[in-house]
Structure 1
Amino acid sequence: MSDTAPAAAALNHWNRLIQLAAASGSYADCLRLYAGSLLATDIRGDASTFPSLAKSCAALRLPGLGRAIHARAFLAGTAVSRDAFVRTALIDMYAKCGRLPDARRLFDETPRSSRTLVAWNCMVSAYGRSSQMDEAIAVFNAMRRAEVRPSGSTLVGLLSGCADSVSARNIGACLYGYSVKSGLDADLLVLNSVLTMLIRGNQLDTAQSLFDRVENKSVVTWTAMASGYLQAKDCVKVFDLFRAMRVTEQSMDSVVLINLTAAATLFGNVLVAKGVHALVIKGGFQFQDDLAASLVNLYTRCGDPLAAKEVFDSVHCKNAVLWTSMLNGYVKCGCPDKALESFDAMLCARVEPNRATLLAVLSACANLGSPNLGHKVEEHVIAIGLQSDLQVSTGLIDMHCKCGSIQHARKIFDSVSNRDLAIWSAMINGYACNGKGSEALTLFSEMQNKGIQPDAIVFTHVLTACSHSGLVDEGLNCFHRMTVEYGIKPSIEHYMCMMDLLSKAGHLSGAMKFFKEMPVQLRNQVLAPLIGAHKAHGVDSSIDIVSLELLNLDPQDSSHCVLISNMLSCLGEWKKARNYRRLISKQGLVKKPGWSYIELGA
């Protein structure tokens, strides 16, 4: 006894340290204590040692080390390797590390009498997380057959899988019915899972009804409902929900504020943005990377890049997400040069750009039309190994096309084997913008032959190609196929392309037909090509192409007033034309000047 007592005392000491480290979330320290200290003393560990080690491997997602821990538990003896808590911890570790076959093998090897409720829940949750709902339900049914009573955690694991799988929503409804029947619907975690499932299934009214019935709402309940309103783009209801939440004195977390920031982004008002920003500061969350990035996005969407830059500068340790938000903000605010300056600063700060960063930079290069800068960014893409990424390839094609390097863009396009609709669309648009209408139509036909169905955006590019190249018959055919064969409702972009195509070709009767078929509120946006055609072909002033409703459609827009004035001059209505010119001065309207970039030393 004198030999074993010190060893047992030492093991108990190390077990307490290991358990305390795991319980406090210091998972790396927990593993270091075992590997660097306990093993060095030649103590193998017991049933109290390995659950905390498995938990640490699960939290850090270290399946290789977890397998080694499993082996050590096996070597520690039968009493340890067959202990119910050790086996449950190992099953949970394999499941959370994405090693489902290993988790299932260990679960099946565990005697039925040793399968704890936690072990059953681990398997159910693991299958639910991976959207393998058939397997999850099979384990759930086996659990009931084994007369193990499911808990709230069991249903949460199942419902999480139903929320992520469209085909499993009916199963989710049945599970909710089971929760009501078994009394588990009183568990707030279950109700929150049902609420999330309903919201992701676009059943907002049902979700609202359930939300109203929940008495003791947690912050998760409120944020789940807010995410539903955001999904429906109803920012007003998000603000109303937030006010109701404040009345209940429910504490806020960063997720609540991110939802509020997203709602303010939809609202697009700077004053609202500043109010949300004040709440973030009041809550002490202003230095969190995710919230700082949301605020940067909010201010740039509201057209205030200076405020966005202030938020950006206030964060000392900037990560790639925050840098990317600032880059995207500059691009959206029409400041591509500043976006590229920020990218250089990001590289100098030794922050590794990710895919989203490079897409923002490529967009900035495309907006600048700078082939030199574009090639430099492409070199960086190749250096970090993202040239095979489908989205990055699409961005490169778009950038090279807008910089006039159409052949290089086609070379990248041809190198991609798994082309999606976006990359076909980018290449077709590239040909369209560079006046290569025939090539665009050929590529469009090739895309359809590959079985890829075009959407409204692709048709906009094809019609643009026809417009720029004067392909009237092809344009009319594409428009007809879009509306009749594919059932796509024409947008203002489609009408613009057709009006431009027909007007430039002198087909005024066809242009007038399209003009009259358009909704009145869209007509002022397509007047330019129609007026230009009337001027070019010397059309008689008796032709009435506008109504009084159209003349007064947008009197606060200076470009609209100038356009109407030019049109009236064309029709010989000089007095009315002067009145519209005076309206610009009287209302203090300013006509936005055009601008262009030139690249020196190119």
Structure 2
Amino acid sequence: MSVPAPAPAATLRHWNRLIQLAAASGSYTLCLRHYASLLAAGLRGGDASTFPSLAKSCAALRLPRLGRSIHAHALVAGAVGDVFVRTSLLDFYAKCAFLPDARRLFDEMPTTSRTLVSWNCMVTAYSKASRLDKAVAMFNAMRGLGVSPSGGTLVGMLSGCLDSMATRNLGLCVYGYSLKSGLDADLPVSNSVLTMLVRHGQLHAASFLFDSMHDKTVVSWSAMASGFLQTGDFNKVFALLNRMQGAGHRFDLIALVNLVSAAALLGNLLVAKGVHALLIKSGFESEQDLVPSLVNLYAKCGDLEAAQEVFDAVHCKNVVLWTSMIHGYVEGSRPDKALTMFDSMLRTDVQPNVTTVSSVLSACADLGSANHARKVEEHVVAIGLQSHLRVATGLIDAYCKCGSVELARKIFDAVTDRDLPIWSAMINGYACNGEGSEALILFSEMQKEGVQPDAIVFTHLLTACNYSGLIDEGLRCFRSMTEEYGIEPSIEHYMCITDLLCKSGQISIAKEFFKKIPVQLQNQVLAPIVSAYSSHCADSSMDSVSEELLNLDPQDSGHCVLVSNMLSCLGNWKKAATYRTLLNKKGLVKEPGRSCIELSA
């Protein structure tokens, strides 16, 4: 681009002033428009006071191509030699993740003109790009040249130590350096360390640091609240945010997101309405990042009508909001409404993502509709998501729960890079459809592929053996799980084996197996044993378990019916009638079974 002829200095100063004011106030788009107007007015490209604001604007808006053009203009104008221009361009390349360009600019700087800001730019850029070896090397190099790190340097280092446990040691070393150098008093450093500890689940250490901080910002309070959220302790979140208000801090967006999430964990509708009122009072009720959480909150509280009202009040709905509403209907056992909502979404310009599709496939599975699952699959193929492992796993699960195992197997066979969840879904599909032998064959294939099974896979395998009456295979799988893979059996595993033995009439073996179950879990597997005794009219030695069974859950009508049937079979009609009367006294109603048939279109 040719450089316009020089203009009077006063006119250029006028434009520079407008450009600098716009950038300083965060009006980055306006800043760039001012520069375009400057060029359109026939003025030359600018001087050393023009380009730092332009580079800052391109960095903030993540406009790499325009930033490169600004760099070219600075070169033509001869302004790149200015330390502030060069540093601002370095910052632009670093924030846009153009690390080779940033490093080239940095290396071209004379050592004496490298400011602390330029060192910090490189340390932060490498750290955020997970190039921690380079970040550490840059940190050590600056210290070797006598440049003392600042709080900003440490914050930059810590920015790469948040998401991976492998980086925790480096983060702790940086924290140690901050203590030694006295930079721990720098509030952004303390907040960064606090965030790192929370992200790595070190809540005890995070709480200690939080309590020792004399000055706290809303960032400090929000970081600690998110830590309690990770453990599901919503009471501590509420208490913490109350303390935050008492300390005179106003809620920001992140604090309110934590508050809404805590309310969703509690699931109390009255609390949900109170939180909603607070959002309105704080002026955040229409915030794009909060509305989906609010929809989820009402759905978790069982008020789908209120969730729909919040959804309907938003004019420009994004994919996150649509997905939240669809997922709310799925979680609220309204799969029909979820599918209707998905159809409505497809009539808009909003494109569903992987999470949307997964929720819709869950609705298809809950509804038992293979026809709907096929329609969703057609749309998945149309938007190119069929190769995504999570989508493929959802399709397999949906087809299997709709009884279309063959269609599920086609999806499975089409996936080349299979992970554990997709193997687990297909094995479970065979299990749920009574194809135990196929489940065992597939498990053998999974082992040959070198995929390590987990406790969930073994639950599916034992379920398959149970449904198909494969006693020897079930016992072999149970031994393999404990002896070969070292997986501690859960109540689900014990229940599967007990049920398998009882339904096959192997009551004596079931009793022996029952004795090996941990005492604290034994009561939970009494139901299949009682049912087996009832079916096979065994001796009266099991009459004594009736009270234990009912103590499990006194409101479970199914347990009362089981015990009554067993006693009737044993000829103890009087006591059987007592349990039937108990049903009426407690007002318990046996939940009826349900089934559905989908007619071909």
Normalising by structure 2, we get a TM-score of: 0.94
- The residue that corresponds to 1:307 in the other structure is 306
Give the superposition deviation at 1:289: 2.6
Give the superposition deviation at 1:36: 5.6
Give the superposition deviation at 1:87: 1.3
**Once structures 1 and 2 are overlaid, which stretch shifts more, 237-246 or 457-466?**
237-246
Query: How has the CA–CA distance of structure 1 residues 403 and 474 changed in structure 2, closer, same or farther, with 3 Å as cutoff?
Result: same
Q: How does 1:26-175 map to 2 (within 5 A)?
A: 26-35=27-36, 37-38=38-39, 41=42, 43-77=44-78, 80-175=79-174
Query: How has the CA–CA distance of structure 1 residues 190 and 496 changed in structure 2, closer, same or farther, with 3 Å as cutoff?
Result: same
- The residue that corresponds to 1:384 in the other structure is 383
Give the superposition deviation at 1:196: 1.1
Conserved? CA contact 1:18–1:34, under 8 Å: yes
Query: How has the CA–CA distance of structure 1 residues 92 and 571 changed in structure 2, closer, same or farther, with 3 Å as cutoff?
Result: farther
Query: How has the CA–CA distance of structure 1 residues 46 and 573 changed in structure 2, closer, same or farther, with 3 Å as cutoff?
Result: farther
Conserved? CA contact 1:523–1:550, under 8 Å: no
Conserved? CA contact 2:534–2:567, under 8 Å: no
SS at match of 2:223: helix
Conserved? CA contact 1:14–1:38, under 8 Å: no
Give the superposition deviation at 1:424: 0.8
Query: How has the CA–CA distance of structure 1 residues 574 and 264 changed in structure 2, closer, same or farther, with 3 Å as cutoff?
Result: farther
Distance 2:156 2:535 in 1: 69
Query: How has the CA–CA distance of structure 1 residues 344 and 226 changed in structure 2, closer, same or farther, with 3 Å as cutoff?
Result: same
Give the superposition deviation at 1:202: 2.1
1:193 and 2:223 matched = no
Give the superposition deviation at 1:380: 0.9
Conserved? CA contact 2:52–2:89, under 8 Å: yes
Opposite residue 310 of structure 1, the aligned amino acid is E
SS at match of 2:280: helix
Distance 1:118 1:586 in 2: 77
SS at match of 1:81: coil
Give the superposition deviation at 1:290: 2.4
Query: How has the CA–CA distance of structure 1 residues 552 and 319 changed in structure 2, closer, same or farther, with 3 Å as cutoff?
Result: same
- The residue that corresponds to 1:432 in the other structure is 431
Give the superposition deviation at 1:521: 6.3
- The residue that corresponds to 1:415 in the other structure is 414
Give the superposition deviation at 1:279: 2.4
Distance 2:414 2:107 in 1: 47
Normalising by structure 1, we get a TM-score of: 0.94
- The residue that corresponds to 2:586 in the other structure is 587
- The residue that corresponds to 2:270 in the other structure is 271
**Once structures 1 and 2 are overlaid, which stretch shifts more, 520-529 or 296-305?**
520-529
Query: How has the CA–CA distance of structure 1 residues 219 and 302 changed in structure 2, closer, same or farther, with 3 Å as cutoff?
Result: same
Distance 1:477 1:156 in 2: 54
Give the superposition deviation at 1:542: 3.2
Opposite residue 480 of structure 1, the aligned amino acid is R
Distance 1:350 1:108 in 2: 47
Q: How does 1:314-393 map to 2 (within 5 A)?
A: 314-393=313-392
Query: How has the CA–CA distance of structure 1 residues 302 and 452 changed in structure 2, closer, same or farther, with 3 Å as cutoff?
Result: same
Distance 2:417 2:43 in 1: 54
- The residue that corresponds to 2:536 in the other structure is 537
Conserved? CA contact 1:286–1:292, under 8 Å: yes
Query: How has the CA–CA distance of structure 1 residues 508 and 187 changed in structure 2, closer, same or farther, with 3 Å as cutoff?
Result: same
Conserved? CA contact 1:330–1:336, under 8 Å: yes
Conserved? CA contact 1:359–1:395, under 8 Å: yes
Opposite residue 68 of structure 1, the aligned amino acid is S
1:214-255 deviation per Cα after TM superposition (whole angstroms, max 9, x unaligned): 122110100111111112222221122122222212111121
Conserved? CA contact 2:91–2:102, under 8 Å: yes
- The residue that corresponds to 2:402 in the other structure is 403
- The residue that corresponds to 1:21 in the other structure is 22
**Once structures 1 and 2 are overlaid, which stretch shifts more, 218-227 or 34-43?**
34-43
Distance 1:19 1:460 in 2: 64
Identity %: 67
Give the superposition deviation at 1:341: 0.7
SS at match of 1:164: coil
- The residue that corresponds to 2:227 in the other structure is 228
Distance 1:578 1:269 in 2: 39
Give the superposition deviation at 1:519: 5.2
Distance 1:437 1:9 in 2: 85
1:367-410 deviation per Cα after TM superposition (whole angstroms, max 9, x unaligned): 11212111111111111111111111111111122222222222
Distance 1:47 1:577 in 2: 95
Distance 2:575 2:356 in 1: 51
Give the superposition deviation at 1:193: 0.7
Query: How has the CA–CA distance of structure 1 residues 300 and 557 changed in structure 2, closer, same or farther, with 3 Å as cutoff?
Result: farther
Q: Aligned residue pairs: how many?
A: 598
Query: How has the CA–CA distance of structure 1 residues 579 and 318 changed in structure 2, closer, same or farther, with 3 Å as cutoff?
Result: farther
- The residue that corresponds to 1:450 in the other structure is 449
SS at match of 2:162: helix
Opposite residue 62 of structure 1, the aligned amino acid is L
SS at match of 1:161: coil
Conserved? CA contact 1:131–1:164, under 8 Å: no
Opposite residue 143 of structure 2, the aligned amino acid is R
Give the superposition deviation at 1:319: 1.5
Distance 2:567 2:302 in 1: 35
Give the superposition deviation at 1:189: 0.5
Distance 1:163 1:177 in 2: 16
1:471 and 2:435 matched = no
- The residue that corresponds to 1:239 in the other structure is 238
Distance 1:359 1:545 in 2: 47
Query: How has the CA–CA distance of structure 1 residues 591 and 513 changed in structure 2, closer, same or farther, with 3 Å as cutoff?
Result: same
Give the superposition deviation at 1:359: 0.7
Distance 2:572 2:301 in 1: 40
SS at match of 2:250: coil
Query: How has the CA–CA distance of structure 1 residues 537 and 587 changed in structure 2, closer, same or farther, with 3 Å as cutoff?
Result: closer
1:341-373 deviation per Cα after TM superposition (whole angstroms, max 9, x unaligned): 111122223322111111111111111121211
**Once structures 1 and 2 are overlaid, which stretch shifts more, 454-463 or 197-206?**
197-206
Query: How has the CA–CA distance of structure 1 residues 521 and 590 changed in structure 2, closer, same or farther, with 3 Å as cutoff?
Result: farther
Conserved? CA contact 2:12–2:43, under 8 Å: no
Distance 1:269 1:521 in 2: 31
Conserved? CA contact 2:530–2:542, under 8 Å: no
Conserved? CA contact 2:354–2:385, under 8 Å: yes
Give the superposition deviation at 1:310: 2.7
